[in-house]
Amino acid sequence: MVDDPYTFGQIAAANALSDVFAMGGKPVLALNIVCFPNCLDIQILKEILHGGADKVKEAKAVTAGGHSVEDDEPKYGLAVTGLVHPNDILTNADAKPGDILVLTKPLGTGIINTAIKGELANTETADMAIKYMSQLNDKAGKTMKQVGVNACTDITGFGFLGHAAEMAKASNVSLELWSNKCPVIEGVIELAQMGMIPAGAYNNRKYLGAGVVFDDAVSREMQDVMYDPQTSGGLLISVSPDKVDPLMKRLEGYQVTAAVVGCVKSKHEQLIEVR
């Protein structure tokens, strides 16, 4: 995905920490999980762990050791434990009809990663993807607690639509999403036109099937972006309309890229309608 081991470590850690933030919690403890081949320079592993440890520190948590296994290919992840008061736990199951949906971080990292593999992504686009993938969701998490929101989920491998669908199912509602409002990393649409679509995006599309309905105006490429599996993606937040302004203002204050991307409706035939 990325060649630089330090960056790779950072992204893996940001990804692992994200779940805790999405649930309204504060990460406390992180344990490394490492697979590494003995033929590879051990310096690389050092860099990966360094990247991971720095992100954990940035999240104000502690890396307390971990577990390593010899393997053919290097792999790195973290098991993260966090704290949250039982009354404050956020899940994806409390989105309410009338809520507004806010998405943090722009979409498209899966498509960019595919293009990076094919050496077809330009440096600016690749750098943007790396910037967002290694960004913690801590500030968005903190903002949600300050403002008070109804539901949240983090966007990862099942793509924006996949995780949105999970929220709709769990909350027993339908969602209306506005594709022209979704933030997308610059250059992603062009890469989609060139066929840089990861297999995961096709799987997500297939899995969701008729549950998602697109308006004719939504381009094929934009659909791909919405199905695109994200690495260390942002948060999808369901918030009551009166709290949208304070939420957006605070996110802006923290310099978190965010946009209002849709609304929650009472449950009807389709899980998700995209305009």
Q: Shortest gap between Cβ of 115 and other proteins (angstroms)?
A: 7
Residue 70 or 186 with smaller CB distance to other proteins: 186
Q: Which of 10, 18, 109, 114 binds other proteins (CB under 8 A)?
A: 114
Beta pairing class for 272-274 and 212-214: parallel
Q: Which of 93, 120, 218, 260 binds other proteins (CB under 8 A)?
A: 120
- Tokens 């296994």 -> residue: 69
Total length of the chain: 275
Q: Shortest gap between Cβ of 228 and other proteins (angstroms)?
A: 13
The span from the CA of 200 to the CA of 211, in Å, is 17
Residue 89 or 194 with smaller CB distance to other proteins: 194
Tokens of 71: 């393997």
Q: Which of 20, 56, 115, 165 binds other proteins (CB under 8 A)?
A: 115
The span from the CA of 137 to the CA of 154, in Å, is 9
Residue 157 or 246 with smaller CB distance to other proteins: 157
Instruction: Please answer whether residues 223 and 272 qualify as being in contact, where contact means their C-beta atoms are separated by less than 8 angstroms.
Output: no
Q: Shortest gap between Cβ of 199 and other proteins (angstroms)?
A: 5
Q: Shortest gap between Cβ of 238 and other proteins (angstroms)?
A: 26
Question: Strand locations in the chain, DSSP E?
Answer: 26-36, 62-70, 75-83, 100-104, 151-154, 173-177, 212-214, 235-239, 258-266, 272-274
Residues 6+ apart with CB under 8 A from 110: 159, 198, 200, 201, 228, 229, 230, 231
Residue 219 or 270 with smaller CB distance to other proteins: 219
Stretch of 37-45, 51-59, 114-122, 258-266 lying at the interface with other proteins (CB under 8 A): 114-122
Q: Tell me how far apart the 2 most distant CA atoms of the chain are, in Å.
A: 57
Please list the alpha-helical segments (H only) found in 134-243: 138-147, 159-171, 188-193, 199-208, 220-227
81 binds other proteins (CB under 8 A): no
Instruction: Please answer whether residues 182 and 225 qualify as being in contact, where contact means their C-beta atoms are separated by less than 8 angstroms.
Output: yes
Residue 189 or 218 with smaller CB distance to other proteins: 189
Q: Which of 46, 57, 60, 117 binds other proteins (CB under 8 A)?
A: 117
Residue 108 or 198 with smaller CB distance to other proteins: 198
Q: Which residue type sits at 103? A: L
Q: Shortest gap between Cβ of 23 and other proteins (angstroms)?
A: 33
Residue 94 or 190 with smaller CB distance to other proteins: 190
Tokens of 201: 């995006």
The span from the CA of 135 to the CA of 240, in Å, is 26
Q: Which of 3, 41, 119, 242 binds other proteins (CB under 8 A)?
A: 119
Residue list 168-227, contact with other proteins (CB under 8 A): 180, 186-187, 189-191, 193-199, 202
Interface contacts to other proteins, rule CB under 8 A: 114-115, 117-120, 180, 186-187, 189-191, 193-199, 202
